[in-house]
Amino acid sequence: MRALVQRVSEASVEVEGQIIGRIGHGLLVLVCAMRGDDEVAAGKLAARVAKLRIFRDDEGRMNRSLADVAGGALVISQFTLAADTRSGNRPGFSSAAPPDTGERLYLHFAENLRKAGIPVQTGSFGADMKVRLLNDGPVTIWLDTADRA
């Protein structure tokens, strides 16, 4: 699974003019399930996000996790993280998991964050969403479960 994690002061997601998710201080997490991913990968990625030390400590160093700062997570499904741009000008998305698998793993990821004690808001899988954020830092981190053994 892939995630693009952004440390935010605030973030929200809107569908059809209605805000369906909103957080203050925390992480905006854009998530994509890839072909071959499973619940184990979703759980591992959620654990990494929950423990990722990218919040400032008392000395101003990035040394605290989302749980340490009592922050929230806004989790948005984004299949375009699977974009293959190696040839041509139009990205391909064939490496993304099929929609039914993608939705199941996206929800499993969000539930695993909740089980880690993180307050979670979500977008709407497959919907046309408007996402607003105030990136804090800016801090933006790319995570991919395929990068770790």
Burial 116-137 (b: 16+ CB within 10 A, else e): bebebbbbbeeeebeeebeebe
**pLDDT over 60 (residue 148):** no
Confidence tier at 3 by pLDDT (50, 70, 90): very high
Burial 28-37 (b: 16+ CB within 10 A, else e): bbbbbbbeeb
In the chain, the number of structural domains is 1
CATH number (domain holding residue 122): 3.50.80.10
Residue 18's H or E segment, with its range, is strand 18-23
* Rg, Å, the chain Cα set: 15
Its domain, for residue 7, covers: 2-147
pLDDT for 53-82, tens place per residue?
A: 999 999 999 999 999 999 999 999 999 999
pLDDT for 107-137, tens place per residue?
A: 999 999 999 999 999 999 999 999 999 999 9
CA pair distance 54, 92, nearest whole angstrom: 31
Q: Give the closest residue to 73 by CA, choosing from 131, 8, 129.
A: 8
Confidence tier at 146 by pLDDT (50, 70, 90): confident
* pLDDT, position 37: 96
Q: Give the closest residue to 76 by CA, choosing from 7, 29, 139.
A: 29
pLDDT for 24-35, tens place per residue?
A: 999 999 999 999
- Would you name the residues annotated as active-site residues? 78-80
